[in-house]
Structure 1
Amino acid sequence: MPTPQSVPTVDPRLARALGRPQRGDSVARRTGRSLRKLTASAAQDVAEQTRIARELQQPVTTGRVVAVTSIRGGVGKSTISALLGRTFNHYRHDPVLTLEADAALGTLPVRMGAESVRWACVDLAQILNPAMQLTDITGYLVPVTDGGWLLPAGQGRVGAPLDVRTYRTVTLALRRYFAVTVVDCETLPGEVARTAMDTAHARVVVAPMTAEGVGGTRQVLDWLAQLPHSALASTVVALTAGSPDMLLDVKAATAHLRETGVTVISLPYDRHLAGGGPIRTDMLGQTTLEATVRLAAEVMQRATRVR
């Protein structure tokens, strides 16, 4: 097949509008955190960090697939996928892939810091064969700046949605090469999203911190509980704040979701993530960074339970 043309992820005319990225924490928050660190127990911090690192570095016998979805768009699904992909790559020493399975003008390539994209899932599905080595495969992928690889769903244009057959072909083949594949799915109840949630080793449901978002996510969790295998046991909810002034009671929302038996990790509002541009982990707020690492550790723990 002909080689696709390279396409920039952000229109050059729009790139200027992104401006300089902000730090996730304000100066006041960073100062307050430094003061609190002076009275914190260093031994406890080190023990917790060691435990989390051990979870994230667990060896796998076959590639693990982590599906990320939500009940609607605009709630941080691609952001969570990008954060997970970067976190797994930071802690692990084997190859990590972040795969976009949402062809509806997804933002994952931008969030991962890709300047341009060329090969997409549907292109790769047509040329994959068992004789390929990792070095062959990575020639069709986008290298991520701080490590890892990205496979986009499209080239930033409105196109046909990814079909289940293509999704299965690509994910089953790439599991041979990558220890962890984070899949940024379309929103539920899309067919590919349902397939991904049903077949993944671990699942992340991104829930916006709103009454409607939490209520709809609870329905998704009830659906997962009805699947013929332990889908709910390998699911984690990422509760995201889209504004610094959330009216919903976080404890009550978390308790409502935890009634199903899932773990809920709350990610606070972060000015850097709210900017919508490429994610730089060194610019994230400290609480965001800590919550992301906890989320990744919880997901990896569940992914490695499945053999």
Structure 2
Amino acid sequence: MSLPRLPTMPPPYAATPPTPARSAPSAAQPEESGTPVVRHRPTGPGLPFSTPESVPTIDPRLALALGKPLRGDSVARRTGQSIRRLTSSASQEVAEETRIGRELQQPVTTGRVIAVTSIRGGVGKTTTAALLARTFTHYRHDPVLALEADAALGTLPVRLGAESVRWSCAELAHILTPSMQLTDITGYLVPVTGGGWLLPASQGRLGAPLDIRSYRTVTLALRRYFAVTVVDCEALPGEVARTAMDTAHGRVVVAPLTAEGVGGTRIVLDWLAQLPHEALASTVVALTSGTPDLNLDLKTATAHLRETGVTIVHLPYDRHLAAGGPIRTELLGLVTRGAATRLAAEALQRAVQVR
């Protein structure tokens, strides 16, 4: 079951519309396979990079070992959900889905940047960023970008189903010019199956971390072309993560449903309350369950974090997400799909309120 599509609405994004690629030195044209290949590389000072090679996101030897992806809900759970739907009010469910869908389609005057971070790795930060990017791409009719700002072997390309990556965030920072059109920019990005674009942080190798200057250059330039940019940040207190949380329009803090996870996230929320631009008011917490058994009472954890005034959205355990690999929306559990949609709507609602 895929996410429901709403009737087509007028394009809400007032950014530079796509135009035919020009013969400028910066233009990049995709091959028939869809892999961006740079035909003409910009020349001039400050361009130390040669055209990078395309690198697979998963070693071919491991790709052969991938099994069939699991469904998020077991057969027994799907059966129970079908029975409950027969006895519940379908009109109320449709009305709620329509309301959330319209929130996700609301116009934005300038590109909105939503930063996703956490207090440590392994809590579902990248998975949450991928879910947000896929949700925005599904509902919106304007360009959506997933930007990876964690160069330490980040897995956002894998989660979004990219087979290979080429240009990185740091490399693109040296190439961007104000005269570029959307068609020029997308030649350096990875097209995501199902829609949207991806800019990875690295080519799957250990390298220097993304620097603050490159991050600022890329995000400030690309928000001209994309209605929504979802940034998968490094974990706090990394410098780029702190910068991203300080400069983004909307913020999502991913917190594991454990005592130490909730406690550490509360410290982060108290820090956000001290930042300018009403940072805490534009923050949503994604409370994630990494196992089917709750390690901490959900109501208690939610109440503790809500004392700061933020909205909490619980992302439940999902077999499909827990298995790793590319996220296929149609295989997500019913509750997971609903939670991801609500999280995206809450994050965007706060992001559009920031001027």
Give TM class, smaller chain.
over 0.9
Q: Structure 1 segments of 4 or more deviating over 3 A?
A: none
Q: Distance in 1 between matches of 2:66 and 2:119?
A: 28
Q: Which letter does structure 1 place at the counterpart of 2:116? A: V
Partner of 2:182: 134
Deviation per CA, 1:91-129, whole angstroms, max 9, x where unpaired? 000000000000000010000000000000011111100
2:260 paired residue number: 212
For each residue in 1:285-306, what CA deviation from the matched residue of structure 2 results, as whole angstroms up to 9, or x when unmatched?
0000000000000011001101
- Equivalent of 1:184, from 225, 228, 232? 232
1:109 aligns with 2:150: no
Indicate the structure (1 or 2) with the bigger Cα radius of gyration: 2
Query: What 5-or-longer segments of structure 1 have no aligned partner?
Result: none
User: Displacement, 1:173?
Assistant: 0.3
Separation of aligned partners in 1, 2:181 and 2:342:
33
Q: Percent identity between the aligned chains?
A: 80
TM-score for both structures, normalised by structure 2: 0.86
Residue in 2 that maps onto 1:2: 50
Which residue among 206, 217, 238 is the counterpart of 2:286?
238
1:252 correspondence with 2:312: no
Deviates more, 1:241-250 or 1:134-143: 241-250
Partner of 1:99: 147
Structure 1 residue corresponding to 2:324, chosen from 276, 280, 283: 276
Question: As a proportion of its length, which structure holds more helix?
Answer: 1
Structure 1 residue 39, shift from structure 2 partner? 1.1
Q: Which residue of 2 aligns with 1:292?
A: 340
Find the residue that maps to 1:242 and give its secondary structure.
Answer: coil
Aligned residues: 307
TM-score, structure 1 normalization: 0.99
Report the Cα offset of residue 229 of structure 1. Answer: 2.4
Q: Which amino acid aligns with 1:95?
A: P
Q: Which of 57, 79, 82 is the matching residue for 1:31? A: 79
Separation in 1 of the partners of 2:337 and 2:166?
30
Q: Deviations over 1:33-68 (max 9, x none)?
A: 000000111221111111101110010110000000
**Matched residue type, 2:109:** T
Q: What do the CA deviations read for 1:159-182 (whole angstroms, capped 9, x no partner)?
A: 100000000000000000000000
**2-side partners of 1:216 and 1:60: how far apart?**
33
Aligned counterpart, 2:195: 147
Aligned to 2:63: 15
Whole-angstrom CA distance in 2 between matches of 1:18 and 1:198: 39
Q: Distance in 2 between matches of 1:18 and 1:10?
A: 10
Q: Does 1:89 align with 2:129?
A: no
Which amino acid is 1:149 matched to?
Answer: W
- Aligned equivalents of 2:204, 2:275: Cα separation in 1: 34
